[in-house]
Structure 1
């Protein structure tokens, strides 16, 4: 396994991982209509831009992108103002779970945020996502919960905080 910085040529692989991850993680949690609307081509455009604008890490296994993570400045400083950094997204294909790929992506992103001067990090995750335990295992403590709406369905979203990312 290789963890490396992504570039624009990785966008299609990143988009594929994101869409496939949603399809394997969120049935019964997120409306089928939303899952059916996810499109690799549309997501590819988003990830091309993201790869140009800030550090985005990919996990590669035998030449294939099997996971990715990205973080930056906290986008919701009104809710959790003491957290300056945020893990925006972390995904890996279900077939590679339990191999340490998520941990490596998480740690690399946290180290990058710390190197960029961020002190604390917040992450949001759909509360019914089986990966909630991963965030706890990585040292996150529960901050609170909000309700978001996806395709008309109210869904609980949990927030976890990491108080000293220099120690991750």
Structure 2
């Protein structure tokens, strides 16, 4: 397995991971109408731009992208002012869960955040996400709950905080 910085040309592989992850992880949680509307080509354009503008990481096994993660500045400093960084997204194919892909991607993003001067990080997770234990296992603690609307359905969202992300930094 290789963890590396994403390039714009990785956008299709990243989009496929995201769409498939949503469809497998959120079936029965997120409205089916929304899951069916997810479009790889539309997501590809978004991730191509993201990979061009900020550090994003991909996990590859046998030269195939099987996961990705991206983070940066906390986008909700008004609600969670104690956290300067944020893990925006971390996804992997279900068939690689339990193989360390998520942890390595998490560590890559955190290392980048620490190198950029961030000290604490927050992540938003749908409360009913079956992989929520991943965030707890890595030391995240619940700092808040909110509700978001997806296709007109109100869904609970949990926010997990990491108060010392330096402990996850991977040394070169």
Q: TM tier, shorter chain?
A: over 0.9
- TM-align CA RMSD: 0.4
Shift of 1:137: 0.3
Residue 13 (structure 2) aligns with: 13
Structure 1: unaligned runs, 5 residues or longer:
none
CA–CA distance in structure 2, aligned partners of residues 80 and 62 of structure 1: 39
Shift of 1:153: 0.5
DSSP-derived class of the 1:17 partner:
helix
Residue 71 (structure 1) aligns with: 71
Residue 49 (structure 2) aligns with: 49
CA–CA distance in structure 2, aligned partners of residues 154 and 94 of structure 1: 25
Residue 163 (structure 2) aligns with: 163
Residue 89 (structure 1) aligns with: 89
Structure 2: unaligned runs, 5 residues or longer:
none
Deviation string, structure 1 residues 22-77 (Cα, Å, up to 9, x no partner): 00000110000000000000000000000011100000001100000000000000
TM-score by length of 1: 0.99
CA–CA distance in structure 1, aligned partners of residues 108 and 138 of structure 2: 13
Shift of 1:119: 0.6
CA–CA distance in structure 2, aligned partners of residues 104 and 130 of structure 1: 19
CA–CA distance in structure 1, aligned partners of residues 35 and 42 of structure 2: 13
Shift of 1:149: 0.5
Residue 107 (structure 1) aligns with: 107
Moved over 4 A (4+): none
DSSP-derived class of the 2:83 partner:
coil
CA–CA distance in structure 2, aligned partners of residues 37 and 6 of structure 1: 25
Shift of 1:161: 0.2
DSSP-derived class of the 2:33 partner:
helix
CA–CA distance in structure 1, aligned partners of residues 70 and 118 of structure 2: 14
TM-score by length of 2: 0.97
Residue 142 (structure 1) aligns with: 142
CA–CA distance in structure 1, aligned partners of residues 55 and 131 of structure 2: 23
Count of residues in correspondence between the two structures: 168
CA–CA distance in structure 1, aligned partners of residues 32 and 24 of structure 2: 12
